[in-house]
Amino acid sequence: MGYTRNLQRLLQEMPATSGLPSGTAASLPVAVPYEGGFADALFLFEADSPAGRPFAWAILHPDTGKLLSFSFCKIRDFVEPGAYPPDMPLPLETPEPITPEQKADGRRELLSLYEELRGFVFAKEPDNGQRELTERFSQLFETIAYVGHRPFYRALAPDFLGWLGISLPGGPPPAAGKEPDRAVAAIKELEALFKQKLMHDDHRQRLFDEMHRELQSYKNGLIDTLTRPMEEDIIKLIDDIEKSMDHYRGRQFAPDNYRRLLTLFEGVGTDLSDLLYRHGVEPFTQEGSAVTVGRQKVLATIPTDKPRQDKKVAVRHSRGWEKNGRVIRPERVSVYLYARPEEE
């Protein structure tokens, strides 16, 4: 969700619950660090008021628009108390005179640029196109930001202005001898909590990554442990076959040698069956002549003129295999299919 829609929703919903003045206007958008990324921040002021002083501030989630923080300045301000009292007039004037049309056009362009800027805000090394965008945004910001509001921008989003390279000089000077009150301390505490949570999230992510690596290593080791006996049995069987082939390769063809070689290959099938049996895999032949779905697979049909043979097993091509009662490969069969004899 974009900043403009988030702001519209805020201004529509807040008056009903918080009693915002009807002439409420929003400041220019700024960004603040939040959970390794950023959040949108702004302050509200009465555009029709002679004072024009901000009376509330808010921080919005950049995606959902949810209020992360909202406070009226009389409850929790974001500048030094007494520096800008409510009765101090704040000039709602730009540094250089511009027409209302120029100001409106500039604000529209700035909001459009901010929507694009949100995609790389606080980036350490923006590319050339991004730098051009930030330079134009900074130029507009310095042109249309009210002089009286500049200290409030500096207090609300110093990291953002520093990232943009905006100093925002001007604005009434803070009153001498005034110390920050609990509100300023609360703002700093909130920033510290954001940073602490970010560090916590990074630490938690590292733990998850380490646990994933350990689990993957355990799974790989477990698979090796389970398959190693079968691998050793297969290797031994290959060795036996190669030895037998070397033995018969040097002999002349004779019926006796042929029978011995045939017996040898029959023994290979037996050895493989024994290997599978040691790992819980057993052959089966389904009882009965009726086809059992799930345990038998029909490869072909054979026509028959006998109705009692219809859909009965005609030929068993190969056995089925199962492990712990679960079919690994069904028995392969052909079945009879009754065809009515043609009348002469």
Number of domains in the chain: 3
Q: Is 69 a member of any domain? A: yes
pLDDT beyond 80 at 211: yes
Tell me the average pLDDT of the chain.
Answer: 81
- Confidence at residue 179, expressed as pLDDT on a 0 to 100 scale: 42
Same domain, 68 and 121: yes
Least confident of 105-114, 290-299, 335-344: 335-344
User: Residue 134, Cβ neighbours under 10 Å: how many?
Assistant: 21
Mean pLDDT throughout 188-215? 73
Task: pLDDT band for 327, please (50, 70, 90 cuts).
Answer: very high
Q: H or E element: which one contains 191?
A: helix 182-249
Same domain, 95 and 241: no
Percentage of the chain beyond pLDDT 70 is 81
pLDDT beyond 70 at 181: no
- Confidence at residue 142, expressed as pLDDT on a 0 to 100 scale: 92
Q: Is 24 a member of any domain? A: yes
Rounded CA Rg of the chain: 41
- Confidence at residue 277, expressed as pLDDT on a 0 to 100 scale: 85
Inter-residue contact 40 to 59 (CB < 8 Å): yes
Task: pLDDT band for 238, please (50, 70, 90 cuts).
Answer: confident
Q: Which of 12-16, 67-71, 199-203, 233-237 has the highest mean pLDDT?
A: 67-71
Q: H or E element: which one contains 246?
A: helix 182-249
Q: Is 186 a member of any domain? A: no
State how far the Cα of 299 lies from the Cα of 260, in Å rounded to an integer: 33
CATH number for the domain harbouring residue 320: 2.30.22.10
User: Between these two residues, 148 and 109, which has the higher pLDDT value?
Assistant: 109
Percentage of the chain beyond pLDDT 90 is 33
Q: Token pair of 48, please?
A: 């029709």
Least confident of 12-26, 87-101, 202-216: 12-26
Burial of 19 (0-12, 13-18, 19+ CB in 10 A): exposed
State how far the Cα of 312 lies from the Cα of 338, in Å rounded to an integer: 10
State how far the Cα of 335 lies from the Cα of 286, in Å rounded to an integer: 14
Amino acid (1-letter code) at residue 272: L
Same domain, 143 and 14: yes
Domain of 312 in residue numbering reads as 285-338
Q: Is 198 a member of any domain? A: no
Tens digits of per-residue pLDDT, 257-314? 777 777 777 777 788 888 888 888 899 999 999 999 999 999 999 999 888 989 899 9
Count Cα atoms within 13 angstroms, Cβ side, for 300. 6
Burial of 40 (0-12, 13-18, 19+ CB in 10 A): buried
Same domain, 150 and 59: yes
Q: Is 191 a member of any domain? A: no
Q: Is 194 a member of any domain? A: no
Q: Is 148 a member of any domain? A: yes
Task: pLDDT band for 101, please (50, 70, 90 cuts).
Answer: very high
CA 114 to each of CA 28, 37, 72, 141: distance values in angstroms, whole numbers, following the listed order: 10, 15, 25, 10
Same domain, 274 and 292: no
**Closest to 145 (Cα-Cα) out of 110, 116, 114, 101:** 110
Same domain, 66 and 165: yes
Same domain, 221 and 124: no
State how far the Cα of 89 lies from the Cα of 172, in Å rounded to an integer: 10
Q: Is 0.85 surpassed by the pTM of this model?
A: no
Same domain, 313 and 215: no
Q: Which residues of 179-201 are buried (b: 16+ CB within 10 A; e: fewer)?
A: eeeebbeebeeeeeebeeeeeee
**Closest to 203 (Cα-Cα) out of 191, 213, 211:** 211
Same domain, 173 and 108: yes
Q: Is 190 a member of any domain? A: no
pLDDT beyond 50 at 157: yes
Tens digits of per-residue pLDDT, 38-88? 999 999 888 776 667 888 888 988 888 888 888 888 777 787 665 666 667
Q: Token pair of 311, please?
A: 């859909």
Q: What is the DSSP letter of 293?
A: B
Same domain, 10 and 65: yes
Same domain, 113 and 16: yes
Backbone dihedral angles phi then psi of residue 154, each to the nearest 5 degrees? -65, -35
Same domain, 56 and 30: yes
Of 261, 278, 295, the position where a domain reaches its end is 278
Task: pLDDT band for 184, please (50, 70, 90 cuts).
Answer: low
